[in-house]
Amino acid sequence: MPDRLILGQCLFYDADPRQAGPDGLRHTSRGAVLVRAGQIIETGEADALRAAHPQAEITDHGDALIVPGFVDAHAHYPQTAIIASWGKRLIDWLNTYTFPEEMRFDDDAYAAEIASLYFDLILANGTTTVASYATIHPASVDAFFAEAKARNLRALAGKTCMDRNAPKGLRDTAQSAYDDSKDLVAKWHGIGRLSYIITPRFSPTSTPDQLSALGALWAEHPDCLMQTHLSEQVDEIAWVRDLFPDARDYLDTYEAHGLLGANGVFGHAIHLEPREVDRLAEVGAALVHCPTSNTFIGSGLFDMKLADRMRVGLATDTGGGSSFSMLRTMAAAYEIAQLRGHALHPAELLWRATAGSAEALRLDDRIGSLKPGMEADLCVLDLASTPAIAQRAARADDIWEALFPTIMMGDDRAIAQVYVAGDPRG
């Protein structure tokens, strides 16, 4: 297969915008990305790369902006069909919408149908990597990974483990959670572009014995990530306190059972105690900010200043989150930060939806930026996808003023093209 030279405006990450600000991202109005066998081989100015590689197949996106494919660091693919369901807080949401829907995933055909639909939806929104919870059914993990593998996507997922405070059809046991997860690690972890994540849903739905069993499994497979939920809502925290009266705080319910470490990924983390912040930072764990979910379910306002001390990714949290779009997720992150008195620059928003989420998932050596040696997962943005966006972008003085209207008002119409390992999709 010939080399592919993809042309358009480009944003290259030269430095972390958390320290360097917008100067950490370099813009060229006529750039190029050279792709060979699924990898980025070279980047730079279009004219120079065309002259250096005259045999390359050219795809010219004109004024569209080439960025890394979006990375969604926390999602629930089984909740695809219940997204945007009305009016519940977390615990009611689980009982009213989530658990009845997840019961359906004991049907292998239904799991495969939703997995296919889910990947159609996220690719249409420019997302090329996702970390998802499945259900307690091992077949729900099989369906997710089989679909991702068929599309050559980089994807992460795990069997969601629950042995209490859930309907009978959604409860496993400490032993079956360990056994099923161990079998799934052996079956899928490291196969192609797939990674298994050890996945207790959250402390209220796991007994101490189950948490300990999963902690033991993680110790046996420390290269795996571990994902769970932490301090999403105040009534959830009160519930945890009742269920674990001897725990120092919510985080301690994980730490006491071997579920706190550098490869831990904790979703939400809105209402953290100072000790929890210190311990998370000390061990090098990652947090994932899920802004549309936090506003939709009324959870609270995440403090992005935590990113000064630890890795923080960005995520849709579908279906508690109200959009499959990482553009909408960036917009909501901006709005929440504004409410906390902190204006996030477009450079940081884009970085968090790409390299920042890749960093949270320990994948920043493979995805999340347009650099030689990285996997060629790309998203091409039309910066004039609607009349409202076009008229604002036309008045822009720099790339950030041109991009910001798409972040704030863009949707799947802004996704001009997606490349997965260098191959165009859609």
* pLDDT tens-place string over residues 105-153: 999 999 999 999 999 999 999 999 999 999 999 999 999 999 999 999 9
The pair of structure tokens assigned to 300 is: 């609270």
Residue type present at position 172: D
Mean pLDDT for the stretch of residues 251-271: 98
Angle, helices 174-188/138-150, rounded to nearest 10 degrees: 20
Comparing 4-68+368-425 with 70-360, is the CATH topology the same?
Answer: no
- The tens digit of pLDDT for each residue in 382-423 reads 999 999 999 999 999 999 999 999 999 999 999 999 999 999
Examine the pLDDT at 305 and tell me if it is beyond 80: yes
Q: What is the pLDDT of residues 315-337, one digit of tens each?
A: 999 998 899 999 999 999 999 99
Residue 24's pLDDT band (cuts 50, 70, 90): confident
pTM above 0.95, yes or no: yes
Angle, CA 226 vertex, CA 225 and CA 231 arms, to 5°: 135
330 neighbors 301 (Cβ within 8 angstroms): no
Query: What is the per-residue DSSP string for 138-194?
Result: HHHHHHHHHHHHHTT-EEEEEPEE--SSS-GGG---HHHHHHHHHHHHHHHTTSTTE
| pLDDT at residue 234, rounded to an integer | 96
pLDDT class of 156 with cuts at 50, 70, 90: very high
Q: Given this model, what pLDDT does residue 13 score?
A: 92
Domain boundaries, the chain: 4-68+368-425, 70-360
Sheet holding 25-36, edge to edge: 39-45, 25-36, 4-13, 57-68, 378-381, 415-420, 423-425
pLDDT tens readout for residues 171-227: 999 999 999 999 999 999 999 999 999 999 999 999 999 999 999 999 999 999 999
Cα–Cα distance between 176 and 36 in angstroms, integer?
Answer: 43
Q: 70-360 in CATH: which number?
A: 3.20.20.140
8 A C-beta contact, residue 239 and residue 91 = yes
| DSSP 8-state class, residue 378 | E
CATH number of 4-68+368-425: 2.30.40.10
Q: Are the C-beta atoms of residues 287 and 305 closer than 8 Å to each other?
A: no
% of the chain exceeding 90 in pLDDT = 92
Count of CB atoms situated within 10 Å of the CB of 337 = 21
Other Cβ atoms closer than 10 A to 152:
17
- Mean pLDDT (whole number) for 60-79: 98
DSSP, res 34: E
Residue 73 has pLDDT above 80, yes or no: yes
pLDDT score recorded for residue 302: 97
